[in-house]
């Protein structure tokens, strides 16, 4: 590349999170960084967009090769604001979303605001990488994530892979030296089963907290992201968005066509 790469950074934990600072650390050695991140925590926001409310934009910080905006919408709104407004006359070379506080392996890719933003970024023709650390703590240790994030960004920026290209990267909790390596994987099959915690407010109205457990449908499958994370590997799942279930189309046609 002759010009300096332009990298968009976003996340779902909000512009003030430790994971966003770690994502900026990942991206900065490679070029100019523009951050458009949510004003507030947007965990679990999936690929949600804001259709019925106005959205407020604030410039938070401006220094050499780094501009940070906070935007009052969802992670996907942030990506759209960047590509379709703030950077609409520039070429963005890469989107980095994260680093998320918590795993986005398996079916979490569907609920994740981090991955919602990464997927949206890949729609604009540049590679997009979602980075997540399997640790929900606000003060999580992102050292290993930054190290592996930089390595992956360097390899992807220099490569000529077909587009759209979107990667769901998950890093196991632990110090860098404890990580056994990186493997390209597939999304683990399995689903969440919830337990609602029921409470009553002072006026007797019942309310609920959503909480649950992930049920892994294939815990022994060594090519899945969950298995790799449980065994100390960084997992990389390439993500695409054609949800058509081609295996069902013929049977369905026989049933529904007259």
Binding positions for its own copies, 123-142, rule CB under 8 A: 123
167 binds its own copies (CB under 8 A): yes
- Cα separation, 123 vs 137, in Å, equals 31
Interface positions, 203-222, toward its own copies (CB under 8 A) = 205-210, 212
Shortest separation between residue 110's beta carbon and its own copies, angstroms = 5
Nearer Cβ to its own copies (32/111): 111
1 binding its own copies? (CB under 8 A): no
Which of 111/141 has CB closer to its own copies?
111
Q: Select the residue interacting with its own copies from 4, 90, 143, 195 (CB under 8 A).
A: 195
Q: For the residues of 99-157, what is the DSSP string, one character each?
A: EEES---TTHHHH-HHHHHHHHHHTTTS-EEEEEES---TT---HHHHHHHHHHHHHHH
Choose the stretch contacting its own copies; rule: CB under 8 A; options: 25-33, 73-81, 93-101, 170-178: 73-81
Q: How far apart are CA 131 and CA 113, in angstroms?
A: 11
Cα–Cα distance between 27 and 153 in angstroms, integer? 8
Q: Which stretch binds its own copies (CB under 8 A): 1-9, 30-38, 139-147, 241-249?
A: 241-249
Beta carbons within 10 angstroms of residue 125's beta carbon: 13
Burial class (CB in 10 A: 0-12, 13-18, 19+), 62: exposed
Nearer to its own copies by Cβ, of 173 and 236: the residue is 236
For Cα atoms 153, 108, 117, give the angle at the middle one, nearest 5 degrees. 50
Distance, CA of 203 to CA of 250 (rounded, Å)? 55
What's the min distance (Å) between Cβ of 103 and its own copies? Answer: 14
Our CB check for its own copies shows the closer of 24 and 235 to be 235
Distance (Å, whole) CA 142 – CA 132: 10
Total chain residues near its own copies (CB under 8 A): 82
Member of 5, 14, 50, 87 binding its own copies (CB under 8 A): 50
Q: Is 244 in the site for its own copies (CB under 8 A)?
A: yes
Q: How far is the CB of 160 from its own copies (least distance, A)?
A: 10
- Does position 171 interact with its own copies (CB under 8 A)? The reply is no
Residue choice 91, 155, 176, 231 for contact with its own copies (CB under 8 A): 155
Using alpha carbons, list the distances in angstroms from residue 88 to 96, 135, 160, 210: 18, 35, 23, 39
| Residue 118 in the binding site for its own copies (CB under 8 A) | no
**What is the closest distance, in whole angstroms, from the C-beta atom of residue 21 to its own copies in the complex?**
21
Nearest-CA neighbor of 226 among 191, 168, 181, 185? 185
């Amino acid at each position: 590349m002759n010009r300096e790469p332009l990298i968009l950074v976003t996340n779902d934990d909000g512009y003030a999170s430790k994971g966003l600072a770690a994502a900026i650390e990942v991206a900065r050695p490679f070029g100019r960084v523009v951050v458009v991140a949510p004003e507030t925590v947007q965990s679990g926001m999936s690929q949600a967009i804001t259709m019925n409310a106005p959205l407020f934009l604030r410039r938070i910080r401006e220094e050499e090769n780094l501009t940070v905006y906070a935007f009052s919408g969802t992670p996907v709104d942030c990506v759209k604001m960047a590509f379709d407004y703030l950077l609409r006359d520039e070429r963005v070379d890469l989107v980095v979303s994260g680093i998320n506080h918590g795993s986005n392996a398996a079916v979490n890719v569907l609920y994740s605001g981090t991955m919602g933003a990464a997927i949206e970024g890949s729609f604009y023709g540049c590679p997009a990488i979602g980075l997540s650390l399997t640790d929900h703590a606000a003060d999580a240790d992102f050292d290993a994530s930054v190290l592996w994030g930089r390595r992956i960004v360097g390899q992807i920026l220099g490569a000529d892979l077909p587009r759209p290209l979107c990667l769901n990267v998950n890093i196991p909790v632990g110090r860098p030296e404890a990580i056994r390596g990186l493997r390209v994987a597939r999304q683990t099959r399995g689903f969440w089963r919830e337990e609602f915690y029921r409470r009553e407010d002072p006026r007797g109205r019942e309310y609920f907290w959503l909480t649950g457990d992930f049920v892994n449908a294939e815990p022994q499958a060594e090519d899945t992201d969950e298995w790799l994370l449980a065994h100390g590997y960084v997992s990389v799942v390439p993500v695409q968005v054609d949800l058509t279930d081609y295996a069902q189309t013929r049977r369905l046609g026989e049933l529904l066509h007259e």
